[in-house]
Chains A and B, each alone.
Chain A
Amino acid sequence: MIHVSATPVLALRGVSKRFGAVQALTDVDLEIHTGEVVALVGDNGAGKSTLVKTISGVHPIDDGAIEWEGTKVDIGRPHDAQNLGVATVYQDLALCDNLDVVANLFLGSELRSASVLDEIRMEKRARELLDTLSIRIPSVRIPVAALSGGQRQVVAIARALVGDPKVVILDEPTAALGVEQTAQVLDLVERLRERGHGVILISHNMADVQAVADRVAVLRLGRNNGVFDVAQTSPEEVIAAITGATDNAVTRRRARTATALKEDAK
């Protein structure tokens, strides 16, 4: 495990979020340090996406606190999160297929000289960025539509890094990828850690989580269900926490016999 700073760059303290009658998150705690990959796992509907959206400012929190480098902050809009230094790569990537790679990387934050696009500076920085991440794509000047799924994913991740964020959130980056592309994306996640970014990785794939994450935070039914150190935890323990395997046939029988014994005692 990589050395971790004392104060977490981002910390959630007792965060709750309610949508109408649905309590999506209850008292959730989460800490991200710089240079650390935290995997966020949980079943469908466990609240992973909601948690990510509270951090990225899509849904403001109802209760609890978000701390940025030790000080409490309010994240009410996506803009607030971006200004703090949180970059989110959504599952649908949000790339413009008709624009080339350079244009996509700098979309919304184009480099200009006197209100004219500075294509040359953008292309140069795009190449540097892709090189430092060891990203290989056919050309930075072809439309994103011409790239494979894995290449699009790495372009989307590279785009998140243009503003040099401190925390990068990846929402299921490997869900739709083949073996080789998944390997590329996982390499990229490790490179993000080496560069000192804090990474929140949402994944359903335990193998991926085991491969790159330092810690695993498990959500179950909108609550924390344990934070595990990957090096000292077996996948089975994590899966047990995800599925709530403590609540299975064996435990139920045991519980029933226990109550039955109690009643017998009466």
Chain B
Amino acid sequence: MSDLAKTPEPTKGPADRTDRTAPGDAVDAEQSAAPAAAAAPVDPRLLVREQGFAGYWTEFVRKVRGGELGSLPVVIGLIVIGLVFQLQNDKFLSASSLANIAVFTSGVGIMSVGIVFVLLLGEIDLSVGSVAGVGAAVWAVLSVNHGWGDWLSVFVAIASGLVIGVLHGFFFAKIGVPAFVVTLAGFLGWSGLQIWMMGKEGSINTPTGSVVEDLTTHFFADKAAAYGLALVAVLAYAGSQLWDSRRRKEAELPSRPLSEVLLRTGVLAVLAFVVAYFLNEPKGARGLPLALVLFLAVLVIADFVARRTTFGRQVFAVGGNAEAARRAGINVDRVRITVFAISGMLAAFGGLFIASLSGGATKSLGSGNTLMIVIAAAVIGGTSLFGGRGKIWSAMLGMLVIQSIQQGLNLEGMASEIQYMITGAVLLAAVVIDSVSRRTQKSAGRA
């Protein structure tokens, strides 16, 4: 049971899965007690959500029956993966192994966040691997060969990813070339540019002590860092929930009951502090990795943009029904170009992580299966390939699944070809779940 509690620890993001923990017997007890929130005459067809756990549970069951699985399959998947590998090899949940998973997840995970935006539009970006390579090459050539400042070359590398993304977006939105073709051309073209830039050397090693080296090698050894971050995350989450609850009550809208807020916060707190504990305490633990901090920062910012800003709303609208969005006065072209710019920028940023992990920029950085892993992570995490449905956090969940499998198979000493086959099967399973749940949603009148 302790394994089960530990496994999903890095999923401290979306606490909306807490509903699984609603105890069954409490449901019956509260269902009878739950006051029908109907003072005014209510249409019998209305869905009135009961207060408390009972309402939570019934709504959850209704959603799952209707095919709105959300992140449920991937969370279950993570628990199963954790259990299986821990039973095979008790090093799987050790400090160094988990730190490895965290560090390896970060770079490709950041690229995956960009892909989630593109998938929300209902499009695809096949160029992220090459753009990551170009980003790393730009940084290496500027910083090592031309002696530019560390920060400046990092900044220019990320900006070059942004410019590449704007270019893709321009051809897609303004000229009307399918995104698939534009980014396929980009995939070839930018990897050509990367090889040309790396031309003379073939590879440029990361200078010691540089910013890029620190990206994945720096750990905050002070124990206060990990615990402090966990505490800040929990407090911020609880604060925003309570604030939201209070404002909704003032506006006389249905709000989350205090018990639910406490439950969600409690689950988040357990996850956050268990992760912090494993990064800090066991033998060989090195503290909080900088890479994880950056990844979480990107996730939080991207999630805020997607769910809380006009731009994010416009992305969902264009992904759901572009014509409706256009008639609502949304500048569809601008949204599309911006999304591809975000994707390119995050791809270049992720490229720097990969360079940091592999010790330098090379001709082949970002080639191979990087692209596939990045797209697979977004899809495994539960973002629909059909546009308009998905969550930013799915980038992290999906990438955790992939990296956990790789880490586990590495510990088993399994060859990389087996890893590819297993990751492929997981991806297929994820897309099957997406398609089947869409069909269920259609038959339940929800798609």
Residues of A at under 8 Å CB distance from B?
78-79, 82, 90, 93-99, 103, 107-110, 112, 115-117, 120-121, 123-124, 127, 136-139, 142-143, 145-146, 148
Of all chain B residues, the one with the shortest Cβ separation from A121 is B251
> What are the nearest 6 A-B pairs in CB distance?
A108-B328, A98-B388, A98-B320, A96-B320, A94-B324, A108-B329
Q: List 30 A-B contacts (CB under 8 A).
A: A78-B327, A79-B329, A90-B327, A94-B321, A95-B324, A96-B320, A96-B324, A96-B325, A97-B320, A97-B388, A98-B388, A99-B320, A103-B313, A107-B317, A107-B325, A107-B330, A108-B325, A109-B329, A112-B310, A116-B308, A117-B308, A120-B244, A121-B251, A123-B253, A138-B45, A138-B46, A138-B47, A139-B47, A145-B446, A146-B446
User: Does B412 touch A at the CB level, under 8 Å?
Assistant: no
Of all chain A residues, the one with the shortest Cβ separation from B441 is A145
Are B253 and A108 in contact (CB-based, < 8 A)?
no
- Type the 1/0 row for B416-441, where 1 means its CB is closer than 8 Å to any CB of A: 00000000000000000000000001
Interface of A is mostly: loop
User: Does B389 touch A at the CB level, under 8 Å?
Assistant: yes
Contact partners of B316 in chain A: CB under 8 A: 96, 98-99, 103
Are B329 and A96 in contact (CB-based, < 8 A)?
no
Contact partners of A98 in chain B: CB under 8 A: 316, 319-321, 387-389
Are B329 and A94 in contact (CB-based, < 8 A)?
no
Whole-angstrom distance between the Cβ of B92 and the nearest chain A Cβ = 38
Of all chain A residues, the one with the shortest Cβ separation from B120 is A98
Contact partners of B45 in chain A: CB under 8 A: 136, 138
Are B328 and A94 in contact (CB-based, < 8 A)?
yes
Separation of A115 and B308 alpha carbons in the complex (Å): 9
Contact partners of B389 in chain A: CB under 8 A: 98
Q: What 9 additional pairs, Cβ within 8 angstroms, besides A96-B388, A99-B313, A110-B310?
A: A97-B388, A98-B389, A107-B330, A110-B313, A120-B251, A123-B253, A139-B47, A145-B441, A146-B444
Of A78, A94, A117, A139, the contact of B310 (CB 8 Å cutoff): A117
Contact partners of A146 in chain B: CB under 8 A: 444-446
Are A139 and B446 in contact (CB-based, < 8 A)?
no
Whole-angstrom distance between the Cβ of A60 and the nearest chain B Cβ = 17
Contact partners of A97 in chain B: CB under 8 A: 320-321, 388, 447
Separation of A116 and B252 alpha carbons in the complex (Å): 21
Chain B interface residue count, CB cutoff 8 Å, equals 35
Contact partners of A94 in chain B: CB under 8 A: 321, 323-324, 327-328
Separation of A93 and B323 alpha carbons in the complex (Å): 11
Are B320 and A124 in contact (CB-based, < 8 A)?
no
User: Does B309 touch A at the CB level, under 8 Å?
Assistant: yes
Are B317 and A139 in contact (CB-based, < 8 A)?
no
User: Does B248 touch A at the CB level, under 8 Å?
Assistant: yes
Contact partners of B252 in chain A: CB under 8 A: 124
Separation of A149 and B445 alpha carbons in the complex (Å): 11
Of all chain B residues, the one with the shortest Cβ separation from A139 is B47
Whole-angstrom distance between the Cβ of B251 and the nearest chain A Cβ = 5
User: Does B201 touch A at the CB level, under 8 Å?
Assistant: no
Separation of A117 and B445 alpha carbons in the complex (Å): 28
User: Assuming the A-B contacts A110-B310, A136-B43, are A95 and B321 also in contact, with contact meaning beta carbons closer than 8 angstroms in the complex?
Assistant: yes
Of all chain B residues, the one with the shortest Cβ separation from A103 is B313
Contact partners of A139 in chain B: CB under 8 A: 46-47, 49
Of all chain A residues, the one with the shortest Cβ separation from B250 is A120
Of B251, B330, B444, the contact of A124 (CB 8 Å cutoff): B251
Of B248, B308, B446, the contact of A120 (CB 8 Å cutoff): B248
Separation of A137 and B253 alpha carbons in the complex (Å): 16
Of all chain A residues, the one with the shortest Cβ separation from B446 is A146
Are B324 and A116 in contact (CB-based, < 8 A)?
no
Separation of A78 and B330 alpha carbons in the complex (Å): 13
Of all chain A residues, the one with the shortest Cβ separation from B244 is A120
Whole-angstrom distance between the Cβ of A46 and the nearest chain B Cβ = 24
Are A145 and B251 in contact (CB-based, < 8 A)?
no
User: Does B65 touch A at the CB level, under 8 Å?
Assistant: no
Of all chain B residues, the one with the shortest Cβ separation from A93 is B324
Are B321 and A96 in contact (CB-based, < 8 A)?
yes
User: Does B334 touch A at the CB level, under 8 Å?
Assistant: no
Of all chain A residues, the one with the shortest Cβ separation from B444 is A146
User: Does B174 touch A at the CB level, under 8 Å?
Assistant: no
Contact partners of A96 in chain B: CB under 8 A: 316-317, 320-321, 324-325, 388
User: Does B20 touch A at the CB level, under 8 Å?
Assistant: no
Contact partners of A145 in chain B: CB under 8 A: 441, 445-447
Separation of A82 and B308 alpha carbons in the complex (Å): 26
Are A142 and B325 in contact (CB-based, < 8 A)?
no
Of all chain B residues, the one with the shortest Cβ separation from A94 is B324
Whole-angstrom distance between the Cβ of B323 and the nearest chain A Cβ = 6
Contact partners of A107 in chain B: CB under 8 A: 313, 317, 324-325, 328, 330
- Type the 1/0 row for B217-245, where 1 means its CB is closer than 8 Å to any CB of A: 00000000000000000000000000010
Of all chain B residues, the one with the shortest Cβ separation from A106 is B313
Separation of A108 and B329 alpha carbons in the complex (Å): 6
- Type the 1/0 row for B307-347, where 1 means its CB is closer than 8 Å to any CB of A: 01110010011011101110111100000000000000000
Whole-angstrom distance between the Cβ of B252 and the nearest chain A Cβ = 8
Separation of A127 and B340 alpha carbons in the complex (Å): 36
Whole-angstrom distance between the Cβ of B39 and the nearest chain A Cβ = 14
Separation of A116 and B199 alpha carbons in the complex (Å): 46
Are B253 and A124 in contact (CB-based, < 8 A)?
yes
Are A143 and B446 in contact (CB-based, < 8 A)?
yes
Separation of A138 and B317 alpha carbons in the complex (Å): 21
Are B251 and A108 in contact (CB-based, < 8 A)?
no
User: Does B17 touch A at the CB level, under 8 Å?
Assistant: no
Separation of A94 and B332 alpha carbons in the complex (Å): 14
Separation of A121 and B43 alpha carbons in the complex (Å): 24
Whole-angstrom distance between the Cβ of A100 and the nearest chain B Cβ = 10
Separation of A221 and B327 alpha carbons in the complex (Å): 28
User: Assuming the A-B contacts A110-B313, A117-B310, are A136 and B251 also in contact, with contact meaning beta carbons closer than 8 angstroms in the complex?
Assistant: no
User: Does B91 touch A at the CB level, under 8 Å?
Assistant: no
